[in-house]
Chains A and B, each alone.
Chain A
Amino acid sequence: MEALYPFLYADQLDVEPVLRAVSVSTADKAREIVALRQQLAGHFADTLIACAGDMADRFTAGGRLFTFGNGGSSSDAQAVAQLFLNPATGARALPALSLTNDVAVLTALSNDIGFEVVFARQLAAQGTAQDIAVGLSTSGGSANVLAGFEQANRRGMLTVGFAGYEGGRMAEADTIDHLFVVPSASVHRIQEAQTTTYNVLWELTQLAMD
C-alpha cells in the first residue's frame, strides 16, 4: 500500500518531531505550575492563615461549608466539599455540601428564574450565620457566583473566594472575606494553582482544629 501510494503516508514521517514538541510543551507546563505554586506560598500565606483560622472557628461552632462554581470550577467546588466531608487519611470529617450536586434544584431555578440565582437561592434556603461559603471562578466574573457571595454575606456567612487573572469583579466585591486571586494569564494554570491552594487551606484548617 505504502509503495503504491507513498504520498498518502508522507505526512506520517513527521510524527516524531511533533511528539518531541508536545513532550517539550508538557515539561514546560509542568515547570510553569511548580514555579507558580512556589510564588503563591508567599503571596497567599497571610490570607491562608487567617482564612483557615476563621473556617476552623465556624466548624467548631457547628457551621457547615457550602461550595459553588461553574464548569471546571463546579468540579472544583465538588472537590472542596469532598475534601472536607470525606478526607481519606484519618483526618477529621467536616460537614460540606456542593451546590451543584442537586440537578433538580439547579434545573428548577434555572428554568423558573434564571441561572444567575442558582447558588444565591440555595444559600438563602440553607445558609445560616455559622456557615461558610466557598465560591470559585477563574475569571472572577461569574454572575451566579457573585450573587452567591452577596447572599452569603447578607446572611452573615464566612465567605471565601477563588479567582484568577486580576480577580475580576470578585476583587471589587465587598462581600468576600478572604479572596485568593491566582496571578496567571492561563486558565489552566489558574485552576491548577487553585487546586493546590484549597488543598493547603484544608490542611491548615485541620491543623487549626487539632
Chain B
Amino acid sequence: MTHTVGRLDRAAVDAAFGRRVDAGTALADDANQVAAACHAMAARFHRGGRLLVFGNGGAATDAAHLAVEFIHPVIVGKRALPALSLTNDVAFFSGLAAAGAFADTFAAQVRLLARPEDIALGISASGRCANVAAGLAAADDSGLLTVALLGDGTVGDGPDIASSPAVAHVIQAHSSDARIVKEVHVTVYHVLWELVHVFLEQPGLLGPKVIRS
C-alpha cells in the first residue's frame, strides 16, 4: 500500500535517507584522525585539563550534548570528565551580540575561562563560522589543544577552519548539508567520548609527563 500525503510518499522518505549514506560511510575512512584526536584529548584530561565546547545554531546544541556526555556519562562506571558548553551563558552571548562583537564571543570566553592544559573543541557545520575560527585561534594562542568538527567547507564565506594552522585535529563530515553534517558529528562525538576513556584507562599511553606525576 502506498501512502501519499500531499507530496509525501515512500520515494521522498527513501531519497531523504539515501542522501545520508555517503557522508556516514566516509567517516569510516577518517577513523585515524578520530583516534589521534581521542589520544590527544585523553592526554589533556589526564593532565587535569577541561573540555570547552562551542558552536552556533544547531552546533550549539551539539556543544551542549557533547559537554553532558563527558560530565555525566550514560554508561555506568565511566568517570565524569570536566566539560563546559560555552553557549550556555545567554546573558554573555546576547551582551556581546548587542555590542556588535559576536565574532569575538568564543575567543573572549576562551581568553577569560581557559587554562593552557585545556581542550577547545569548536563545531561548525559549514566549516566557516568566524567566531568558531576565532575561538580556536585564541585557544591555540593560549596553549590549548584544539579540535574542530567541521562540514566540508564548500558553503559560506567565512574563514576555512580546516586549513587554519591553529587547529591541531580536524575532523570533517563530507557533506555541505548542515543537517547531514550534524548527524555525522553526533557519531563523532559519541566515539570521541567512548574512546577517550580507552586511553584514560591505560595511563601509560599518555606520555612521560603523566608517568612522572
Which A residues lie at the B interface, using CB under 8 A?
Answer: 1, 8-12, 14-15, 18-27, 29-31, 33-34, 37-38, 40-41, 44-46, 48-50, 52-53, 56, 71-72, 74-76, 78-79, 82-83, 86, 88-89, 138, 187-188, 191-192, 195-196, 199-200, 202-204, 207-208, 210
* Residue of B6, B24, B31, B39 touching A33 (CB-CB under 8 A): B24
- Asked if residues B12 and A29 are in contact (CB atoms below 8 Å), the reply is no
21 pairs of residues in contact across A and B, judged by CB atoms under 8 Å = A9-B211, A11-B205, A15-B39, A18-B198, A22-B38, A22-B198, A23-B32, A25-B194, A25-B195, A26-B34, A34-B21, A37-B24, A41-B14, A49-B5, A56-B6, A71-B72, A78-B64, A79-B182, A83-B58, A88-B57, A202-B179
- Asked if residues A40 and B17 are in contact (CB atoms below 8 Å), the reply is yes
Interface mask (B1-25 → A, CB under 8 Å = 1, otherwise 0): 0011111111011101110110011
* Residue of A44, A56, A79 touching B61 (CB-CB under 8 A): A79
Within the assembled complex, what's the spacing in Å between the Cα atoms of A26 and B16? 25
* Residue of B25, B72, B183, B208 touching A31 (CB-CB under 8 A): B25
Within the assembled complex, what's the spacing in Å between the Cα atoms of A44 and B13? 9
Given contacts A75-B62, A75-B65, contact A82 B38 (CB under 8 A): no
Within the assembled complex, what's the spacing in Å between the Cα atoms of A12 and B110? 32
Additional A-B contact list (8), CB under 8 Å, known A22-B31, A22-B35:
A14-B204, A25-B195, A34-B24, A37-B20, A41-B16, A83-B58, A188-B194, A207-B12
* Residue of B10, B14, B60, B182 touching A199 (CB-CB under 8 A): B182
- Asked if residues A75 and B64 are in contact (CB atoms below 8 Å), the reply is yes
Q: SS class of chain A's interface: helix, strand, loop or mixed?
A: helix
Give the interface residue-count category, chain B. Answer: 35 or more
Interface mask (B174-213 → A, CB under 8 Å = 1, otherwise 0): 0000111011001100110011001100101101100110
Chain B's closest residue to A199 (CB) is B179
Within the assembled complex, what's the spacing in Å between the Cα atoms of A45 and B14? 8
B74 within 8 A of partner (CB): yes
Residues of B within 8 A of A76 (CB): 61, 65
Within the assembled complex, what's the spacing in Å between the Cα atoms of A191 and B208? 37
Which B residues lie at the A interface, using CB under 8 A?
Answer: 3-10, 12-14, 16-18, 20-21, 24-25, 27-29, 31-32, 34-36, 38-39, 57-58, 60-62, 64-65, 68-69, 72, 74-75, 178-180, 182-183, 186-187, 190-191, 194-195, 198-199, 202, 204-205, 207-208, 211-212
- Asked if residues B7 and A192 are in contact (CB atoms below 8 Å), the reply is no
- Asked if residues B74 and A187 are in contact (CB atoms below 8 Å), the reply is yes
Residues of A within 8 A of B9 (CB): 49
Chain A's closest residue to B189 (CB) is A188
Chain B's closest residue to A44 (CB) is B13
Residues of B within 8 A of A1 (CB): 208
Residues of A within 8 A of B75 (CB): 187
Residue among B7, B13, B36, B38 with the highest chain A CB neighbour number at 10 A: B13
Residues of B within 8 A of A10 (CB): 204
Within the assembled complex, what's the spacing in Å between the Cα atoms of A74 and B62? 11
Residues of A within 8 A of B190 (CB): 29, 188, 191-192
- Asked if residues B194 and A82 are in contact (CB atoms below 8 Å), the reply is no
Residues of A within 8 A of B180 (CB): 199
- Asked if residues A26 and B35 are in contact (CB atoms below 8 Å), the reply is yes
